[in-house]
Amino acid sequence: MQQPIDGVLEAPYVMEYTYRRSLGPVMSAFFTALRDGRLLGARTASGKLVVPPLEWDPETGAAIAGLEPVAEEGVVTAATWVAAPEARHLLQEPFAYALIQLDGASTAMLHAVACASLEACPVGTRVKLVWSESRTGSLRDIRCFEPVK
């Protein structure tokens, strides 16, 4: 506890709910595949490939037709710059948060792009997935994406 000059005591205060949630059949398969170094998307009845997968077709509410592998390269559809990453961020150096539409996917997924500046990651940039060295079954198993040289 600090004692500031005005005599009023101050202390850090963290309120945390330490939830652990069950994943269900679809997300369980997705995260298990991530741990094993594979990225899966959900194919809907209308033929769209939703990445990351959803349990239900967002257009009809029907169950998805199945899960299938997705390409590890894609295109940036939107990006913003994180100049001062916090401990909870994926990368500790400044990076771009980007929506990335992987080849063959119908939707874009949010992830980090390791690059020097936002100018290095304009819309349309081709990026490639970089796996984390140790994988546990979380979205952090994808370390980041990086521009394809």
Partner 1 sequence: MSEATKPVVKDVTTMAAPVSLKFRARAGKDLSRFLRGMKERRIVGRVCPSCNYVYVPPRGACPTCGCPMGDERVLPETGTITTFCIVNIPFEGQKLKPPYVCASVLLDGADVALFHLVGGCDVNDVRMGMRVRAEWVDEADAELSLETIRYFVPTGEPDRPLAQIREHI
Contacts 24+ apart (CB under 8 A), 63-69: 64/26, 66/42, 67/26, 67/29, 67/30, 67/33, 67/40, 67/41, 67/42, 67/43, 68/40, 68/41, 68/43, 69/38, 69/39, 69/40, 69/41
Q: Would you count residue 14 as binding partner 1 (CB under 8 A)?
A: yes
Q: Would you count residue 32 as binding partner 1 (CB under 8 A)?
A: yes
Q: Would you count residue 10 as binding partner 1 (CB under 8 A)?
A: yes
- In the shown chain, the binding pattern of residues 43 to 82 toward partner 1, with x for contact by CB under 8 A and - for none, equals ----------------------------------------
**Using CB under 8 A, which of 8, 61, 119, 124 touches partner 1?**
8
Compare residues 22 and 124 and give the one whose CB is closer to partner 1.
Answer: 22
